[in-house]
Amino acid sequence: MKLVETFPSSMSLGRPISHFRRTICSSSILKARRSTKPTPLPFPHNTFRGEDTDLEAGTFHFDVERSSFTDNDLPRRLRLTSDVNVKSLILGSNLFNFVAADWDELPADLQAALQYVVRLPTLEELTILNVKNLPVSLLSAASFSTLSIHHAKFRRSKFRDRKNTPSNIVTRLKSFNFGLTPLSSIRALVRDRIPTDSLSIDLSSLHSLTVHNADEVAAFEEVMKVSPNLSILHCEVKIEVPSSLAACRSLKTLVLLFGIRDELQDPLLGLPDVLSEMSGDNVLEELLINVHVPDHHSCRTDAMWGRLDDILSQSAFHSLRRVSLKIIVWVDDDLGLSAEELEEKRRREALKEELEKIRASQFTWLSSHVRFEFSHRSEGIMLVAIFPHESNRRGVTTDLEAGTLHFDVERSSFTDSDFPRRLRLASTVNVKSLILSSKLFNFVAADWDELPTELQAALQHVIRLPTLGELTILKFKNLPATCLSAARFSTLSLRQAKFRRSKFHERKNTPSNIITRIKSFGFGLTPLSSIRALVRDRTSTNSLAIDFSSLHSLTSIGLCHADEVAACKEEMKVSPNLKYLQCEVDRKVPLSLAACRSLKTLVPLLAIGDELQDPLLGLPDVLPDISGDNVLEKLLIHVYVQCYSSCRTDAMWGRLDDVLSRSAFHSLHRVSLKIIVWILVHIVEHLLAM
């Protein structure tokens, strides 16, 4: 048996773990330390934390929303980011109707707090989305070296913006990515100066540049002029490769993404002419070209492609060692059997056959003198077909290549009559994970009963896809339990989800030959009535809508109130084969845990907020009831002592040792006790300095 523990330094190690020290881990090194791990707890889940926030990974996502203008405590909480190792900051807007946040309209205290976060010494990467009237000085005197801006508008800094800018720190960018950003903003970024007359942002060390529309030539040129050491350039081109690109002699890797919309168009968008101008004085090593042909469009398959081979064979690119040309033909997977649709299919097949021929006929020099990679393939357009560009019902975690579909109910979901048809197209892709959530105004939960009937049916269709393995439901109410029946997913996660018993008309269309069998279940902020509906509801054949008898893993987020304890107990009653249980507790470990005799791993997460409180929240009282007839192998306890709180350091901890030494846990081979004391690092440092 192995014991792992972390104790505050003021706690005596003598008595509480004597039994383990004596009989189990005499060779172990028992370390006592005070945890200085900063807490994510100052960031409430219900305010301002964007969906991409992951403090463990060092990512903090802040969205300006309506409450940002009235929450007087928000600036103070934002400054707590100095207590976590924030490496990446995303600054965006979550205002109604996707309106860009206006920096000049933010309260002065909030502006100062955001400036503080941008200048954190740990920050490496900054992303700004859908914000306008940003002063360039916001980005000055900072440590980050990677900047991405999209739908962002900057202005030259005013005197009051500049006056508090430290002059001893310079923001030096090494990687810059921009799109849908006007020329005036780019000029402000590259020309703005601080009071000492040095540049607000230094681009002289820029190594990598990504431009999402190189057809906006002036903005592109503005950056190139101040980036003498640029090595990697990615740019999207739809009209013509800008001739100014030839002036960038430091490039080692050039990545071009072309969009072809006319079969009479030069498929290389003038690139051979630009390469001719680059010939000679260059260090280009890699030329990577991706050509996209949209659905219902075509492209040339004649000698125009061969101009790339001709130019490179005649020009001086002495460092060039790799050329890649990939042609992606987008295909509408939903084409039917009408005469027009069949003709479109025939045209796409003919185009693929012609493209296959051009490698051998038009790239003879490239094939023999450099590492030449040529490919063409067809890509389905399901993501675009289901979620058109103007629709935001595609959740941020949608990734059809990885098999994840995220659907957000929002206002337009109730009026878009064609959306149910598009949603059913998910059956043509390999959807393994579905996330169903609400993006309604003011964080209102979506109501299943208020959705149009056709949309309900389409969502039911996706839930029952044979490829689906995992379903997550967030912030939804009035869901009939049968909407999860007759499905093949085995992992279910619920958060702020309310279910009800199904009505007759909802049960009658449930297939009886397929049973939803859950193996992993996680729930939080889900009322007892919902859990009862899930475990008791039946189909029209009187079989259970959901079978939990094979449940292997259960995670309960919050066992704080009688209702939540009863919900967990309700679930355990129908899960005779449960092997893994993780539960969060902040009052008392429920006695009902003792009834679960099949458990092999028990993970209690105990939150302590009072120094008079039993630090083990009654766990030693529950363990004797489990003693004897059990198969418990691992007991992994995490104790969290909240900010500004304390905990007992007396013999109360030793009760765990006493109980386990006297009880029968014959399979137990590992006990882990981790105590995490949440503290604010800047307060500790201040106290230590006194």
Residues 152-199 have pLDDT tens digits of 999 998 887 777 788 788 999 999 999 889 999 999 999 998 888 889
In the predicted structure, residue 361 carries a pLDDT above the cut 50: yes
CATH number 3.30.1330 is the correct assignment for the domain at 52-230: no
> Out of 2.40.10, 3.30.70, 3.80.10, 3.30.410, which CATH number does the structure's domain 396-577 have?
3.80.10
> What pTM does this model have?
0.56
- Least confident residue range of 412-416, 497-501, 642-646: 642-646
The residues spanned by each domain of the chain are 1-34+579-690, 52-230, 239-383, 396-577
pLDDT at 45: 41
Provide the CA 137 distance to its chain's centre, in angstroms: 29
Taking the chain, what is the end-to-end CA distance rounded to the nearest angstrom? 43
In the predicted structure, residue 346 carries a pLDDT above the cut 50: yes
pLDDT at 44: 44
Task: Please give the share of the chain, as a percent, with pLDDT higher than 70.
Answer: 83
176 vs 220: CA distance, rounded Å: 12
pLDDT at 134: 95
Higher per-residue pLDDT: 173 or 330: 173
In the predicted structure, residue 389 carries a pLDDT above the cut 90: no
In the predicted structure, residue 460 carries a pLDDT above the cut 70: yes
Asked whether this chain's domains 52-230 and 396-577 adopt the same fold, the reply is yes
pLDDT digits (tens, 9 = 90+) for 229-281: 999 999 999 889 999 999 999 999 999 999 887 888 999 999 999 999 999 88
Residues of the chain by 3-state class (helix, strand, coil), percent to 5: 30, 25, 40
Bridge-based pairing of strands 232-237 and 125-135 is: unpaired
185 vs 175: CA distance, rounded Å: 17
pLDDT band, very low/low/confident/very high, at 690 (cuts 50, 70, 90): very low
Taking residues 529-536, report their average pLDDT: 92
H/E element holding 210?
strand 208-211
pLDDT at 560: 56
pLDDT at 654: 93
364 vs 305: CA distance, rounded Å: 12
pLDDT digits (tens, 9 = 90+) for 130-157: 999 999 999 999 999 999 999 899 999 8
Is residue 31 packed enough to be buried (19+ CB in 10 Å), middle (13-18) or exposed (0-12)? exposed
Q: Which two tokens stand for residue 337?
A: 């059997």
Angle at 88 between CA 83 and CA 89, to 5 degrees: 85
